Chains A and B, each alone.
Chain A
């Protein structure tokens, strides 16, 4: 018995993390394939991309109150969740087909045009899946921290940076046929991490100073409230600044640790962003009302059970 306000839980944050990372991995693999050369990212990374999207989809299903009815989320084309679900499905399908071109045992691995078609398709659906959680959250008018187009940029950036880091890590485990991309990918991650720090600080500053009182209050939670520690130490320091330094070293261990820290930062960011949605535009007296209701561990409730 809990009279707290209903909100999305941690499993949706994990879904956003895996789906965003996997989708952006498809984008990076597809772009480098088209503009740098044939299969320049690790085949392991290319296969893990759709698997990560699928893992994200599994967490999304587990978040549902009735997981066995999950197929119903494909039914309303007007809803953004339906749009996202279809694109995740397509990303999984296109991603697996695209990754299979990297396995020479398959007879279609030499079909260049077909591979490039699937690279393009993977880029398109990958970009949609990497961006859509931000769009989903940004459309919530009464969630002051989410509302506004900035959330879309934050999620797309995080998806791209975690995807590049994942490709680096996969490249260390199973090197790509050519090192031309993976050798440079760490510079992309460093640049994106720098960009990410700037846009997050800018986003919070804008929310605190430039908009409504509700938004200012919701944003203050990130600097002084219950999630401030996780944001500053977990996300900014461990998930951004440390990997930004580590990835500048040519050392393999430093690169691996840096890449893992980027992933950790991405996961923390998703968790905090989803948690920030608990803050709604409260109606008059609403918080006071709910604070007076029992939460389930009061003495009189325990006595009743005895």
Chain B
């Protein structure tokens, strides 16, 4: 069984928000819902040594899922390949998962009354495709693949680069890794 992860290279992300738009179009999200915002930190430093970094955020598809544990209806589920998703038929919109998620990755759909989130485009992944945001990124800042496959790009990157996971101290074991370097390098 695969173990899907995403690696985000903040050294190459230019903050174009293409992934945000592609995600919203693909998932047909209402105007007030965003699954994967791209935040900007900076500019920091003193001229001419200025630095700015863009950080695409999304559901971290944690191994230890506080959202799944909090869900009283069983709507929030985790597949064996690590993808965390919401069964909308079972969701009652109690927001227990919204409050439990440390990453703010879950949003309420006020029209449907349910909670929705990024599911790594599992409909596409199941057909052998990559998530829409990964496909859209022209900088190739998002890399998706199977961590259990030693030949996969994500495996190599995680082993080669210095990667960090957001709020790792909470023990959620996120499956989204960030390459966070000050110097841009060619891959």
Residues in A lying within 8 Å of B, measured CB to CB: 1-3, 5-8, 63-67, 69-70, 72-76, 78-82, 85, 139-143, 277, 280-281, 283-286, 288-290
Q: In angstroms, how far is the closest chain B Cβ from the Cβ of A134?
A: 14
Neighbouring A residues of B91 by C-beta, 8 Å: 65-66
Q: Of A1, A2, A64, A288, which is within 8 A of B92 by CB?
A: A64
Complex formed: what's the CA distance from A139 to B171 in Å? 13
Do A140 and B99 contact each other (CB < 8 Å), given the known contacts A66-B92, A81-B72? yes
Determine if B94 and A289 form an interchain contact, defined as CB atoms under 8 angstroms apart: no
Q: Is B107 an interface residue (CB 8 A)?
A: yes
Determine if B55 and A75 form an interchain contact, defined as CB atoms under 8 angstroms apart: no
Residues of B15-69 at the interface with A, using a CB-CB cut-off of 8 Å, are 31-32, 37-41, 53, 55, 57, 66, 69
- State the total of A-B contacts with C-beta under 8 angstroms: 119
Determine if A81 and B70 form an interchain contact, defined as CB atoms under 8 angstroms apart: yes
Report which residue of A1, A85, A143, A285 has the largest number of chain B beta carbons within 10 angstroms of its beta carbon.
A285
Determine if A5 and B170 form an interchain contact, defined as CB atoms under 8 angstroms apart: no
Complex formed: what's the CA distance from A70 to B91 in Å? 10
Determine if B72 and A64 form an interchain contact, defined as CB atoms under 8 angstroms apart: no
Complex formed: what's the CA distance from A82 to B73 in Å? 8
Q: Is B184 an interface residue (CB 8 A)?
A: no
Do A8 and B70 contact each other (CB < 8 Å), given the known contacts A65-B113, A140-B100, A284-B39? no
Q: Is B96 an interface residue (CB 8 A)?
A: yes
Q: In angstroms, how far is the closest chain A Cβ from the Cβ of B126?
A: 25
Q: In angstroms, how far is the closest chain A Cβ from the Cβ of B187?
A: 22
Neighbouring B residues of A142 by C-beta, 8 Å: 101-103, 167, 170
* A75-B90, A141-B171, A289-B40 known, 19 other contacts, Cβ within 8 Å: A6-B106, A6-B107, A7-B98, A8-B95, A63-B94, A70-B92, A72-B73, A72-B90, A72-B92, A73-B94, A75-B72, A76-B74, A79-B71, A79-B72, A79-B96, A80-B70, A281-B167, A283-B57, A288-B39
Q: Find the A residue at minimum CB distance from B66.
A: A141
Do A283 and B103 contact each other (CB < 8 Å), given the known contacts A1-B32, A75-B73, A141-B66? yes
Complex formed: what's the CA distance from A285 to B75 in Å? 30
Neighbouring A residues of B66 by C-beta, 8 Å: 141
- B88-119 CB contact bits vs A (8 Å, 1 = yes)? 00111111101111111011111011110000
Complex formed: what's the CA distance from A301 to B75 in Å? 34
Determine if B32 and A286 form an interchain contact, defined as CB atoms under 8 angstroms apart: no
Determine if A283 and B72 form an interchain contact, defined as CB atoms under 8 angstroms apart: no
Determine if B102 and A280 form an interchain contact, defined as CB atoms under 8 angstroms apart: yes
